[in-house]
Amino acid sequence: MILLTTAGFIPSGQQDNLRDEATLKALFIYNFTKQIEWPVQSLTSSKFVIGIYGKTEVGDRLTQLLGSRKIFDKPIEVRQLKAGEEMETCQIVFIAKSNVTKISDHFDKLQSKGILTITEEKSIVNKGICINIFEKDEKMSFEISEAAIKKANLKVSKQLIDLATSVK
């Protein structure tokens, strides 16, 4: 499976962390960047910013795993977002399960900004989130909202759509 190719990605001695849910979600997020095309105006900043909204270990895992890696030849910045902080400066916003309802009124504002919104709240993709990562049958999976992807002015590869559990 393309999304979980980890050879050379996980430092030795950390292979057991692959069973860690936060690590798997971080790997999914990083690998999504290889299958999503952002509008040019969304990539004008000097860094590729992944914003984390809410309390979750996913942000820490992204920071640990990505290290000095780059996305689109840009250094990656994982930023903890606070209420009221501008999310428009991010290319990806990951919303922790505990904060989905707190931010739901912001979904409309984010949709046309070229921001990939990701959460871990099952079936929330019907409400404007682009991708939802969740556990199904003891495996990590994801669903995609093609409508939200389109509204965000993003393009998703057919390969990613084919790997999704559901596409709405």
Interval 97-107: pLDDT, tens: 866 655 656 66
- pLDDT reported for residue 11: 43
- What's residue 118's pLDDT? 93
Q: Which position has the higher pLDDT, 18 or 124? A: 124
> What's the predicted TM-score (pTM) here?
0.84
As a dihedral over the C-alpha atoms of residue 120, residue 48, residue 167, residue 155, rounded to 10 degrees, the angle is 170
Q: Which residue has the higher pLDDT, 122 or 42?
A: 42
- Tell me what pLDDT residue 102 has: 59
**CA pair distance 109, 99, nearest whole angstrom:** 16
Residue 39: pLDDT band (50, 70, 90) is very high
pLDDT at 94 over 70: yes
Residue 1 — very low, low, confident or very high, per pLDDT cuts 50/70/90? very low
**pLDDT interval class at 69 (50, 70, 90):** very high
From residue 83, alpha-carbon distances to 13, 55, 103, 117, 154 in Å are 36, 12, 9, 16, 25
